[in-house]
């Protein structure tokens, strides 16, 4: 039935969009928490694991791993990588406006090239394994 096919396709798109959003947000905020924690950490790398920000970052990145593995169970790796690339731009924005990092013109251009390149790849048909 065409209507059922459309409904199934919409459901599949919705599920993919939901998991892409979960992957991007958990990764972006996980990296932010780790960055805040590591900048304030003193002592060894292992001692920094007691830092609350580092622990929050680890929790978010564990969630990120599980969400990404779930997404990879039906989507190509070469589809998942580009569509989740918006995280690079979000990280740059958070670095600039939340952490107050100085970002040079070259670094902005590099970040935009990366985001543009991965978006270009993401506009292609997801494809299937041969």
Partner 1 sequence: MTWLLVAAVVGSTVACDLLQSWDMKRHGEVHDFRPSRIAALFARWPLALSVVFMAISFFAFLSLLAREDLSFAVPATAASLVLETLLAQWILKENVSVRRWAGALMVAAGVALLARS
- The single residue listed with the structure tokens 């919409």 is 10
**Site membership for partner 1, residue 42 (CB under 8 A):** no
Contact 49, 34 (CB under 8 A): no
Q: Which of residues 1-30 bind partner 1 (CB under 8 A)?
A: none
Both tokens of 30, joined, read 């996980």
Q: Which is nearer to partner 1, 8 or 78 (CB)?
A: 78
User: Minimum CB separation from partner 1 for residue 12, in Å?
Assistant: 10
Q: Supply the DSSP symbol for 98.
A: T
Burial class (CB in 10 A: 0-12, 13-18, 19+), 125: exposed
In the stretch 100-119, what mask flags binding to partner 1 with x, by CB under 8 A?
-xxxx-xx-xxxxxx-xxxx
- How far apart are alpha carbons 113 and 37 in whole angstroms? 28
- The phi-psi region of residue 100 (left if phi > 0; otherwise alpha if psi is between -120 and 50; otherwise beta) is left
Tell me which of 1, 3, 5, 77 binds partner 1, using CB under 8 A: 77
Tell me which of 25, 38, 56, 86 binds partner 1, using CB under 8 A: 38
| Chain positions contacting partner 1, by CB under 8 A | 31-32, 34-35, 38-39, 41, 45, 48, 54, 61, 65-66, 68-70, 72-74, 76-78, 80-82, 85, 87-88, 91-92, 94-96, 99, 101-104, 106-107, 109-114, 116-125, 127-130
């Amino acid at each position: 039935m065409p209507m059922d096919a459309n409904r199934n396709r919409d459901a599949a798109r919705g599920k993919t969009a939901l998991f892409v959003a979960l992957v991007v947000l958990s990764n972006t905020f996980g990296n932010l928490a780790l960055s805040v924690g590591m900048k304030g950490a003193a002592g060894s790398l292992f001692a920094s694991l007691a830092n609350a920000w580092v622990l929050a970052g680890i929790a978010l990145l564990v969630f990120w791993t599980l969400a990404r593995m779930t997404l990879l169970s039906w989507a190509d790796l070469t589809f998942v990588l580009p569509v989740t690339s918006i995280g690079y731009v979000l990280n740059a924005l958070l670095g600039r406006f939340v952490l107050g990092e100085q970002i040079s013109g070259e670094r902005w251009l590099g970040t935009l090239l990366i985001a543009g390149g991965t978006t270009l790849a993401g506009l292609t048909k997801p494809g299937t394994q041969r």
